[in-house]
Amino acid sequence: MPKMKTRKTAAKRFKITASGKIMRLHTRRGHLMINKDPNRKRHLRDEAEVVGGEALKIKRMLPNSF
């Protein structure tokens, strides 16, 4: 049986914590930041956890990370 390959696009976008959670970055940070409230910009800097069925899909894309 051949080795399972990691999807490199997913590996660049998601990070796996020591406890196994999948973390992602927030969207809407690319441009037009001057129009956004400072409170909103601060919260967009934080990472968010991927939950539910999306997490299962990402785990399949990153077989060697767990």
CA 33/CA 18 separation, integer angstroms: 32
Sketch the domain layout of the chain as residue ranges: 8-65
The angle subtended at Cα 9 by Cα 47 and Cα 21, nearest 5°, is 35
Question: Given pLDDT bands bounded at 50, 70 and 90, which one contains residue 29?
Answer: very high
- DSSP-based three-state secondary structure for 9: helix
Q: Is the pLDDT at 66 greater than 90, yes or no?
A: no
Give the dihedral sign, CA 29/32/35/38: positive
pLDDT the model gives residue 65: 85
- DSSP-based three-state secondary structure for 6: coil
pLDDT the model gives residue 21: 96
CATH number of 8-65: 4.10.410.60
pLDDT the model gives residue 31: 96
Q: Is the pLDDT at 63 greater than 90, yes or no?
A: yes
